[in-house]
Amino acid sequence: MRKLIITCALISFFMTLASPAIAVTAGAISTDRFGYTGTVMRYDTLADAQAQTNSTDTVTISNRDLALYIVNDYEAYDDNYNIIMGSWWYSTEGSAGYGNTRGNTGVGFMQIYDDDGSTDTSVSMEFDNWDGTYWTEFNFSVTGENTTVDDTGRFSVYDNTNDGGIWHEYNLSLTASGLEGVENSGIIEAFNHPTGVNGSFTGLFQLTENQTSPANQGFYTIELTLDMTNWAWDNRDDLDPYEFSDSYFAAVPEPTTIALLGLGSLTLLRRKRKA
């Protein structure tokens, strides 16, 4: 398992008071630090799920680990990643996933692996809360729709072996706090682990796979609350073979009098998806 390495650079930085500002969001988020809990409601039809009426079942999601890897607005990079999933690869037993009770398989395991960002409908990220030394908060949101099995759309409601389907819609929004963001060549970067998070994930997922559990097919609304409860972090000194991944945040604040004339490059080592 290779650690993600993100290098963000913003070039051709220009300030002008005479011209209107160009609002540009350019950044990246890569972290395995967060967790989630929540509730899933089941419906027989898409219309019922969208209206949230006539639910047929309720499933409670206990603590799960969350991994995020999302890049936005780096034109010099060929792919536009969007990965939202459980951090299944961490292990204390020497083989990926073994002993991992919250990031790997189980009720509430989630996966959106849209590696070209084609299902994104909006992405926003920026630093906030300057304390005189650091930018300490990172605000992030992404919305999307129609993430199919081809984009490895998964959500484990009952059966982990048959959890593929379509994310008809999803929305992730969070504020990470306790960061130490500093400006570097016109971009703000923070490489320390956050100390807090406030956020949520909501989605409408259609379970379509039916090889062994056709009775589980249906429509599910998912409401998750983010937190800092994280199995891999708690076991970071005993993980084998992978060390706990650092969190990387980078973004340009939405400018009011700054024209951003060019974007630099983003270099990364990509994490392989779960088979």
pLDDT by residue for the chain (275 residues), tens only, comes to: 333 323 232 222 222 222 232 234 567 888 999 999 999 999 999 999 999 999 999 999 999 999 999 887 644 344 678 899 999 999 999 899 999 999 998 999 999 999 888 899 998 888 999 999 999 999 999 999 998 878 889 999 987 878 999 999 999 999 999 999 998 877 888 989 999 999 999 999 999 987 777 889 999 999 999 999 999 999 999 998 888 877 777 665 655 333 333 333 333 333 434 44
Neighbours of 191 (CB within 10 A): 14
Which DSSP state fits 51? H
pLDDT at 261: 30
pLDDT given at position 79: 61
Rounded-to-integer distance, Cα 100 and Cα 103, Å: 6
Q: Is 13 exposed, middle or buried (0-12, 13-18, 19+ CB in 10 A)?
A: middle
Cα gap 251→238, rounded to integer Å: 32
Report pLDDT for 268. Answer: 34
Which residues 6+ apart lie within 8 Å of 241 measured at CB?
1, 91, 94
pLDDT at 247 (0 to 100): 73
CA 206 to CA 37: how far, in whole Å? 20
Beta strands of the chain (E only): which ranges?
7-8, 13-15, 27-31, 35-43, 57-65, 67-72, 82-85, 110-113, 120-130, 135-144, 154-155, 165-177, 182-184, 187-190, 196-207, 218-227, 248-251, 258-260, 266-267
**pLDDT at residue 73 in the model:** 61
pLDDT at 54: 98
Quick one: pLDDT at residue 267?
A: 32
Give the model's pLDDT for residue 184: 84
The pLDDT assigned to 32 comes to 95
- The two tokens of residue 59 are 């499933």
**Separation of first and last alpha carbons in the chain:** 14
